[in-house]
Amino acid sequence: DSGVTQTPKHLITATGQRVTLRCSPRSGDLSVYWYQQSLDQGLQFLIQYYNGEERAKGNILERFSAQQFPDLHSELNLSSLELGDSALYFCASSARPSGNTIYFGEGSWLTVV
């Protein structure tokens, strides 16, 4: 158990809908990362937050957004969902924004039908 908690574990939704994925980082970790894992793209970095502020951005679609709240939990919002958004979405956390190990959660499996 990495200490990173993600909910929900599985989610099935229709195209065009919006979903929110939630992440609680390890106790004491200030930095949160979101990754997408699909069969054809592998693990892709989406976005990173540190202590509530956006720190780095990857290949995150405009239909996707994220935020980190004062209690350090983070949410990834996916809107206008398309079939191609079906993937595993991982949250990870680390104590600092760089220079130390990042720990991944178990992932949220999103299926868009």
Point out which span in 13-21, 39-47, 67-75, 76-84 binds another protein (CB under 8 A): 39-47
Point out which span in 22-30, 53-61, 64-72, 79-87 binds another protein (CB under 8 A): 53-61
Residue 10 touches another protein, criterion: CB under 8 A: no
What does the chain come to in residues? 113
What span, in angstroms and rounded, lies between the C-alpha atoms of 79 and 44? 18
Residue 36 touches another protein, criterion: CB under 8 A: no
Q: Are 57 and 2 in contact (CB under 8 A)?
A: no
Residue 66 touches another protein, criterion: CB under 8 A: no
Residue 90 touches another protein, criterion: CB under 8 A: yes
Tell me the closest approach of the beta carbon of residue 80 to another protein, in angstroms: 25
Joined together, the tokens standing for residue 45 give 């970095």
Which value, to the nearest 10 degrees, does the dihedral of the CA atoms of residues 39, 44, 49, 50 take? 110
Residue 103 touches another protein, criterion: CB under 8 A: yes
Residue 17 touches another protein, criterion: CB under 8 A: no
Nearest to 30 by CA among 56, 5, 48, 8: 48
List of residues contacting another protein (CB under 8 A): 2, 4, 31, 33, 42-45, 48, 55-56, 58, 90, 92, 94, 97-107
